[in-house]
Structure 1
Amino acid sequence: MKKNLLFTLLILFSSISFAQIQGNITDKDGKSIKEVNIYFPDQKLLLISDISGNFSIESDLPDGSLINFYKLGYASKIHTYKSGDDLNISLEKLHVELDEIGISDTYNELGSNKFTNIEKKKIDKDYHSTFSVLEKVSELNGVDLISSGKGIQKLVVRGLSGMRVVTFLNGAKINNQQWADDHGIGFSDLGIYEVELIKGASALKFGGESIGGIVFFKDDPFFKSDAPKTFISTKFDNSNFLSSNKLGFSWSKDNFYLTFNAQTNFASDYRLPDGSYLFNSRYLNNALKTSISTKLKKSQHILRFQYNNNTNGIPGHIHGDPLSVSLYELTGSSIQLPDDYKETRPTQHINDYLYIYESNYFIGSNTLSLTINHFKNNLVELDKWTRPAFDLTSRDSELRANLKSSFKDYNFNFGFSYLINSNTNGENGNYLPATDRLMPDAIANNFGTYLISEYEKDNLGFNVGLRFDNKNLTVDEESYDEVFNSFNYSLGSYYELNDQILRLSFTTSFRAPHISEIFSDGVHHGTNRYEIGDPSVEIEKAKQIDLKYRWNSEHFAIVLNPYYQFVEDFISITPTDSLQNNTYRIYNYVQYEEVTMSGIELNLHYHPHILHNLHIEQSYNFISTNAKTPIGDYGIAMTPSDKIKTKFILSSFENDMLSKLKIEDIMLKHTFSFKQDNISFIERSTESYNVIDFEIRFKSLLNGLNSAIAINNVLNEEYTPHTSRMRGLGPNGVPNPGRSFAISMKYNF
């Protein structure tokens, strides 16, 4: 019965007839451009132009639909569709590409980058890169990584991380126990197409509590093709003997689309520059995701499911004073495979389930978007083999709606979200009852509503936004029932003149305290400390002013971005002089009166006229933080060091010699990190360092086969980033991996 019903629905969806929309893409000289990406963001649909630059789609596109045209080597273009449009699109060649910081005209889920400081990273351009997805995102200026070995990574944005940087995946908010530095993002790089990033307190549409920013991950768009598309890929890195393998499948028929992806990763302990191995930095990851979409005449519907399973070793785990431990006690002199792929203790067992239903309704020039999602995360930390240290399950169920409307030179977004979050101890029946409990069971009801108005005419634009949030946090066993309310707003404007654009914004945001900051009372094995919360902590309130200037010519581009952010009632955690059972240092949550973050980010891109396929990209990031604490003014813990990042990219675009060698591009990347002495009173300064990475990517070695080889940390530099969780161990911290060789391959068929 159910099978017959499903079959009937598929036939029904596939049989609906649509008008055919056709177009052609050329350069300014009228020459056809093949393999241009044509992206329909409202439909999450991607087409590719044929050898003559033609494309077509059988769809009833509503007026006002956006179409994004882009290809490497050309300036991307956004076209607003109207019925009867002549879709003959002309793209200009672009030697300077900085789509990540707003040089190109691109579509963003998070809003217009003319009004908001949105940066992005196209992960599909790095489809056979040897770097992880978060390592790729951290290439953006002002973004760093907190890491606990290679298996646990999370982002730091302008000095803030954890609960202050809110993560979304396909519109679903991901609460992966992000209150701790030793918890990752909750999903892998499987099927990720693009990442958008808002820095600082600048997100009204998606975030009440995004003081540090929003990271918005997007899956591969649905791909329209006459035949099914499949790929397999593999990566190997000899630093930790990583083996990463993926399988992907996509299929479309008329207005019905299907994708499926699966992945398995396993890695042993990683090798340090001195040749030793950091014990228990091993990890195992298995993931799968699938999505289906159907397009009706006036609506579109998408169903997504994702499962992610991680087994992460917790390196650097000790009982006692972390400063007294030696590097010898934390490392081994050799690796024994396959035994050192197997889990040991302490370990995290993580299971994540994500369900998303998206629907878009097209009503004239208006679009109503609804998203319903449910995310479940179960985290079990095992310090012993017999029973877990703690077992905590987090659930998020959310309804989100947005109405987008346009009238002449005005654009409006009005919407709301309602999210129920619960934290429950001891729910996983596969384990014995946990020995400890870090925080009590709790439930939070979150409601937010917003209105954003934008005005654009010629080369000038203004926007204003308002948002109200209400959070009710209930902890029955503590007789705690508190309501947190907050009004926030944003103001922005831009002025564009020829190849220059100046943008200024002033925004506010808030963050209500998390249950861990209020009622923690237990050992947190992943951080080697006993944590105690404070029930008196209040809302954090943030204000940010952000100025961005951009100028670009045919061969040179510069983006200058100074900012200043002020946070009242900043919640932090500080050590005491006491030990719990003479083993773990006791840490208390406290609240500082005020904290400031200020800095300047500079991006340069130079393309020599005499060598069209050479790109020189450089970014400068300088940040200063200050916290008014009871014992004086100090920096914020985990403030990233100032950095200069330089990339030399030799591309095969319009280069016959590299094309004959099947080389797509050659990249040399250099990172210089300054000494960090802008530190909190519980930290030590870190020394400066240089890291060089090298990569060659090959395209179509065989029909459909792409590959890459890389040397990471070419000079075998011994360094420990200031944002590494391993930095606080021993006299000098535990270094990042030494020199390693990596290879990756992807075969499309």
Structure 2
Amino acid sequence: MKKLIVALVVSCTALIQAQNTVSGRITDTNNKALSGVSIYIQELQKGTTSQADGTYNLSNLPKGTVRISFALVGFGTQYKTVSEIQKQNTINIQLAPSVFEMDEVIVSTAFNKLQSQNVMKVAHETMKNLSRKGTSTLIEGLATIPGVSQVSTGASIGKPVIRGLSGNRVLVYSQGVRVENQQFGDEHGLGLNDAGVESVEVIKGPASLLYGSDALGGVLYFNPEKFANANTYKVNFSQKLFANTLGSNSSLGLKTTSDNWKFLARGTMNTHSDYTTADGERVTNTRYQEKDFKTGIGYSDASFSSVLRYNFNDLTLGIPEEGIAEQSQSKSVLYPKQAVSNHLVSLNSSLFFNSSKLDLDLGFISNDRSEFEDSEVAVLKMKLNTFNYNAKYYLPSSTKMQTILGVQGMHQTNENSGEEYLIPDAVTQDFGVFGTTNYEWNSNVIQAGLRFDTRNLTSEANGILGEEGSFEALKKSYTSWNASLGYKTNLNDAFIFRFNLASGFRAPNLAELSSNGVHEGTNRYEVGNANLKTEQNFQTDLNLEYKTDHLEFFVNGFYNHINDFIYINPSGESIDDNEVFNYVQNNAALFGGEIGLHFHPHPLDWLHLETSFETVTGKKQNGDYLPLIPANNWNNTLRTEWKDTDWLKEGFATISLVSTFNQNKISGFETRTAGYSILNLGIGGTLHLGKTKMEVNLNGNNITDKKYTAHLSRLKTDGISNMGRNWVVGLNFNL
């Protein structure tokens, strides 16, 4: 027994000593120690910060290759790859000053490189930056990113639009897995809350190579909140108050991490009254209430890393059918209303080998959507359960070449239990296999990939054929080959040039295949088409960036050709005084781009001028315009930052003018929309009250109380304008 105890002690000691560590010291270009530098390994979701003397230490790292980012506000980010990691590794880092945003590691693309190293241009925004803009919902914040807009129904329902494409053409990822929530519907929102989300990445263009069907228009990739640094414990509270909707958003989170284990949890309450227009009238039943809970637990050692996360989101929202009627400040939702609950479970794991790695992402999403007309008995009740998986094997790589092989799939069921059917009961099966390679030499990078997908869809018959609400049984199979090719080069120290070619596809959804009834939100009788083909597109992207110490400039251009684009078209007939619209197909094209400038004049280190312009045009093959294309938009922002004082850090003040132009390029059943300009203000920073640090910000949106109607607002047809003046106060601090 004594020998056994001794052997166990020796084995444990050897195991502890065998832990792989990376340590070093971080300094600036004058060799002065830098404290508070964020050192982070994305694939392990593990990090730490540098001490007062600039030193840092990361322990319990896997064998093989790890990629470490070093980031600090005011300095350029560095990204180091450690190959064949040893027991003890020393990496000393010297960060150079930079007045522009930190260079971020992009997770949504295949090889997780810094944005400056990435072949594809991806828009990246932190939730902290979006919250400083004072928007009341997550989708409103996303719509401030050039190339992104929203189709909205009041303040509670917003659907993302990327370069003119929306609905099932834009794929949403959260916690590393695909989110499915009946996103085809006009009155179906994003289904996510920004609490517990670190940042968002936007792929503007076909991403079917990595994500399969429905990524034809782009991807919104939400990165979850990071765990605490090793051997730390944090409790965080945030509060936002919204004057226009008398709204409140409260969030409480805690997290703790040891060398091997990590845990976090966050609960959020969000409640709003009807929003107020510039005329001072409340839009009846645009109120909503939301509860959100997120938690996660992770484990990592020398050969394995895994994170299990869970997100529950419960949303009750009013459907504004009466327009401006009852004037009330109540937050109790009226009829008609929707109740939507989402359960999202994800398991993200990595197995590390000596010179390769296997990533496996598993996800389960349960979406329960009910609609109530005048009582608590749901007339429409749909339950969508989705299981998806994504396995990627990273082959042994060299300093120049990296290769990934992967498989991806989805099993989805839709069940109805209400008296009304919007879509039939159905089962959907997806399977895809892909490979992609990244090759670098000097300042050049080429990335190429190929993918094959298949989708099988089976639906059940319902009702009496020929009558409203009936569906014919369907059994459909769709296949598609897709490829991408990208090239990036540094023309010199200041210029980056990117060129990308990519194809994408989208299989028709259940509503397009089988609709047979009146769409209540638009008062039209919609008829599906069981013979619809797969949409197939091919997009060309160009990106040019120029960046010096005091000037940053970018220009993006794209041309997107779509074969067999699916859209709804009036037939000229009517049923019970409702005009009949059919789902049809035609080739289409979208083209446009974004251009932006960020000027930081020397020696006025406290001043920033930012301007950006975005445009998109969508046309059918016959020359007619596509519907739901956002108007051209020009955003100008003047931002000041002041040096740290004893009680205020990272102080800022902004004034921005957002100008939206006339939208006269419309489809046959749309109406023109007049242009408008909105003035916004913001001020804030981090208060230091003793040992307490509190982030505070005050934002004023539409401070001139301008009356306007967005082109993509679904309340536009009822003559209802968008939200008037809105003041937002935000607090965020660690307890």
Common fold by TM > 0.5: yes
**Alignment of 1:396 onto 2:386:** yes
Equivalents in 2 of 1:438, 1:106: separation in Å? 41
What is the match of residue 420 of structure 1?
411
Q: Which has the higher contact order (CA 8 A, sep 6+)?
A: 1
What is the match of residue 696 of structure 1?
683
C-alpha deviation, 1:125, in angstroms: 4.4
C-alpha deviation, 1:437, in angstroms: 1.0
C-alpha deviation, 1:85, in angstroms: 4.0
C-alpha deviation, 1:606, in angstroms: 0.4
Q: How does 1:457-496 map to 2 (within 5 A)?
A: 457-477=441-461, 478-496=472-490
What is the match of residue 122 of structure 1?
126
Equivalents in 2 of 1:128, 1:59: separation in Å? 36
Segments of structure 2 that go 5 or more residues without pairing to the other structure are: 1-11, 462-471
On the 8 A contact 1:115/1:462 being kept in 2, the answer is yes
C-alpha deviation, 1:129, in angstroms: 5.9
C-alpha deviations, 1:283-332, integer Å up to 9, x for none?
000010100000121010111111000001112x2xxxxxxxxxxx6214
**Alignment of 1:627 onto 2:627:** no
The amino acid across from 2:633 in the alignment is: K
On the 8 A contact 2:153/2:714 being kept in 1, the answer is yes
C-alpha deviations, 1:565-621, integer Å up to 9, x for none?
000111112344555544x544322212x1111112111110011211221111111
Partner-residue secondary structure (3-state), 2:511: helix
On the 8 A contact 2:212/2:453 being kept in 1, the answer is no
Change (3 A) 1:557 1:151: same
C-alpha deviation, 1:50, in angstroms: 2.2
Equivalents in 2 of 1:663, 1:469: separation in Å? 48
Q: 1:546 aligns with which of 541, 549, 553?
A: 541
Q: 2:227 aligns with which of 219, 222, 226?
A: 222
The amino acid across from 1:346 in the alignment is: P
Q: 1:711 aligns with which of 696, 700, 706?
A: 700
What is the match of residue 736 of structure 1?
722
Partner-residue secondary structure (3-state), 2:44: coil
Change (3 A) 1:701 1:276: farther
C-alpha deviations, 1:186-206, integer Å up to 9, x for none?
221120001111111144112
Equivalents in 1 of 2:473, 2:452: separation in Å? 26
C-alpha deviations, 1:617-654, integer Å up to 9, x for none?
111112211113xxx522211101011111222123xx
What is the match of residue 410 of structure 1?
401
Change (3 A) 1:662 1:415: closer
On the 8 A contact 2:169/2:214 being kept in 1, the answer is yes
What is the match of residue 3 of structure 2?
none
Equivalents in 2 of 1:680, 1:39: separation in Å? 48
Q: 2:662 aligns with which of 675, 682, 704?
A: 675
**Alignment of 1:507 onto 2:511:** no
Partner-residue secondary structure (3-state), 1:341: coil
C-alpha deviation, 1:368, in angstroms: 0.5
C-alpha deviation, 1:381, in angstroms: 1.2
On the 8 A contact 2:647/2:687 being kept in 1, the answer is no
The amino acid across from 1:640 in the alignment is: P
Equivalents in 2 of 1:169, 1:105: separation in Å? 18
Partner-residue secondary structure (3-state), 1:516: helix
C-alpha deviation, 1:137, in angstroms: 2.2
C-alpha deviations, 1:54-102, integer Å up to 9, x for none?
22122224332111111221111111023354311111111233x6xxx
Equivalents in 1 of 2:166, 2:279: separation in Å? 31
C-alpha deviation, 1:685, in angstroms: 1.0
On the 8 A contact 2:264/2:296 being kept in 1, the answer is yes
On the 8 A contact 1:492/1:504 being kept in 2, the answer is yes
C-alpha deviation, 1:126, in angstroms: 5.0
What is the match of residue 511 of structure 2?
516
Equivalents in 2 of 1:527, 1:566: separation in Å? 28
What is the match of residue 419 of structure 2?
435
Partner-residue secondary structure (3-state), 2:154: coil
On the 8 A contact 1:287/1:307 being kept in 2, the answer is yes
On the 8 A contact 2:644/2:650 being kept in 1, the answer is no
The amino acid across from 1:481 in the alignment is: K
On the 8 A contact 1:242/1:267 being kept in 2, the answer is yes
Equivalents in 2 of 1:260, 1:166: separation in Å? 26
Bigger Cα displacement from structure 2, 196-205 vs 372-381: 196-205
The amino acid across from 1:611 in the alignment is: L
Partner-residue secondary structure (3-state), 1:608: coil
Equivalents in 1 of 2:571, 2:280: separation in Å? 36
Change (3 A) 1:712 1:247: same
Q: How does 1:260-659 map to 2 (within 5 A)?
A: 260-315=265-320, 317=321, 330-332=323-325, 334-336=327-329, 340-405=330-395, 406-426=397-417, 434-477=418-461, 478-496=472-490, 497-582=492-577, 584-592=578-586, 594-628=587-621, 632-652=622-642, 655-656=643-644
C-alpha deviations, 1:408-466, integer Å up to 9, x for none?
4111111011101111101xxxxxxx332112101110001110011101111212110
Q: How does 1:54-73 map to 2 (within 5 A)?
A: 54-73=55-74
C-alpha deviation, 1:487, in angstroms: 0.3
**Alignment of 1:24 onto 2:37:** no
Equivalents in 1 of 2:16, 2:369: separation in Å? 45
The amino acid across from 1:93 in the alignment is: P
Give identity over the alignment, percent. Answer: 28
Equivalents in 2 of 1:710, 1:34: separation in Å? 31
C-alpha deviation, 1:46, in angstroms: 2.9
Equivalents in 2 of 1:467, 1:448: separation in Å? 7
**Alignment of 1:684 onto 2:684:** no
Bigger Cα displacement from structure 2, 600-609 vs 696-705: 696-705
Q: Kindly report the root-mean-square deviation, in angstroms, between the aligned alpha carbons of the 2 structures.
A: 1.9
C-alpha deviations, 1:463-502, integer Å up to 9, x for none?
2110100000111323421110000101111221221111
C-alpha deviation, 1:710, in angstroms: 1.3
Q: 1:207 aligns with which of 206, 209, 212?
A: 212
**Alignment of 1:720 onto 2:709:** yes
**Alignment of 1:91 onto 2:95:** yes
Bigger Cα displacement from structure 2, 704-713 vs 451-460: 704-713
Equivalents in 2 of 1:599, 1:126: separation in Å? 24
C-alpha deviation, 1:706, in angstroms: 1.9
Number of residue pairs the alignment of both structures matches: 698
Partner-residue secondary structure (3-state), 1:728: helix
Bigger Cα displacement from structure 2, 185-194 vs 222-231: 222-231
On the 8 A contact 1:182/1:527 being kept in 2, the answer is no
TM-score with structure 1 setting the length:
0.90
What is the match of residue 464 of structure 2?
none
C-alpha deviations, 1:116-153, integer Å up to 9, x for none?
23121122445666323322222221111111111111
Q: 2:195 aligns with which of 185, 190, 201?
A: 190
What is the match of residue 4 of structure 2?
none
Equivalents in 1 of 2:731, 2:269: separation in Å? 15
Which structure 1 residue ranges, 4+ long, deviate > 6 Å from structure 2? none
Partner-residue secondary structure (3-state), 1:598: strand
C-alpha deviation, 1:106, in angstroms: 3.0
Bigger Cα displacement from structure 2, 484-493 vs 33-42: 33-42
Equivalents in 1 of 2:249, 2:91: separation in Å? 42
What is the match of residue 176 of structure 2?
171
C-alpha deviation, 1:171, in angstroms: 1.6
Bigger Cα displacement from structure 2, 512-521 vs 226-235: 226-235
Bigger Cα displacement from structure 2, 542-551 vs 384-393: 384-393
Equivalents in 2 of 1:175, 1:397: separation in Å? 10
On the 8 A contact 1:207/1:214 being kept in 2, the answer is no
Partner-residue secondary structure (3-state), 1:59: strand
**Alignment of 1:745 onto 2:734:** no
Partner-residue secondary structure (3-state), 2:568: strand
Equivalents in 1 of 2:297, 2:644: separation in Å? 41
The amino acid across from 2:449 in the alignment is: G
